[in-house]
Amino acid sequence: MQNVTRTIQVSSETQTRQLAATLARLARHGDVILLNGDLGAGKTLFARAFIQALSTDKNIDVPSPTFTLLQNYDVNGTVIWHFDLYRLSDPDEIYEIGWEDALAGGISLIEWPERLDYHIDEINSDKLLTINIKLDSQNPDNREIDLYCGPIPSDKTEHKQSEPAWHERLKSL
């Protein structure tokens, strides 16, 4: 089972952006961040703020990869892979858009990660951070943001660890 490591209530886009920037500073080469949430929850807004926080160009254009499925960015020598898998028709289609390259290095931000299906098992659980963004039916500006760290239940592989796992890194939040 995954454990909820942190639950954060935000009441504005600015607060969501700030959380994204904080997590961007904690992110390391090889990390995979899954962004779950309904349509309009704020996954792209989060990814945009994350990428802008790491880029020297704070206004770098970060379009939603709704139709391209993937946009990548070279940020100070680290590639950020921003996936939106909503339109993935088959989990294996992920290979055609650079899944193996993304797992081999850089930082991946993945919207609609449930479309990966069994490929989720290929992610190193120490490097995995799962973020669930929940809308609030009472207030359009509020979100509940849950952060979950690995291990994930189906991950049976052992990985060599060079950086602290996400649950260690989140202690600074």
Ligand X SMILES: Nc1ncnc2c1ncn2[C@@H]1O[C@H](COP(=O)(O)OP(=O)(O)OP(=O)(O)O)[C@@H](O)[C@H]1O
What is the binding site for ligand X (CB under 6 A)? 10, 12-13, 16, 37, 39-45, 64, 84, 111, 140-141, 143
Residue nearest to Mg ion (CB): 44
- The interface with Mg ion within residues 113-172 (CB under 5 A) comprises none
Which residues, including other chains, have CB under 8 Å from residue 146's CB and lie 6 or more apart? 4, 6, 7, 8, 131, 132, 134
- Look at the block and give the residue holding tokens 């949430």: 37
Shortest gap between Cβ of 67 and Mg ion (angstroms)? 11
Residue 25 or 87: the one with the smaller Cβ distance to ligand X is 87
H-helix segments, 27-170? 43-54, 99-104, 166-169
Shortest gap between Cβ of 83 and ligand X (angstroms)? 11
Residue 136 or 168: the one with the smaller Cβ distance to ligand X is 136
Residue 15 or 155: the one with the smaller Cβ distance to ligand X is 15
113 contact, one of Mg ion, ligand X, none, CB 5-8 Å limit per kind: none
> Six-digit token pair at 109?
């931000």
Which residues, including other chains, have CB under 8 Å from residue 119's CB and lie 6 or more apart? 91, 94, 99
Evaluate whether 153 touches 1 at the Cβ level (below 8 Å).
yes
Residue 66 or 161: the one with the smaller Cβ distance to Mg ion is 66
- Residue 44, interface with Mg ion (CB under 5 A)? yes
Nearest to 110 by CA among 80, 134, 89, 90: 80
Read out DSSP for 131-168?
A: EEEEE-TT-TT-EEEEEEES--TT-------SS--HHH
Shortest gap between Cβ of 158 and ligand X (angstroms)? 34
Evaluate whether 120 touches 141 at the Cβ level (below 8 Å).
no
Shortest gap between Cβ of 6 and ligand X (angstroms)? 16
- Binding flags for Mg ion, 14-43, as an x/- string (CB under 5 A): -----------------------------x
Question: Could you list the residues that contact Mg ion (CB under 5 A)?
Answer: 43-44, 64, 111
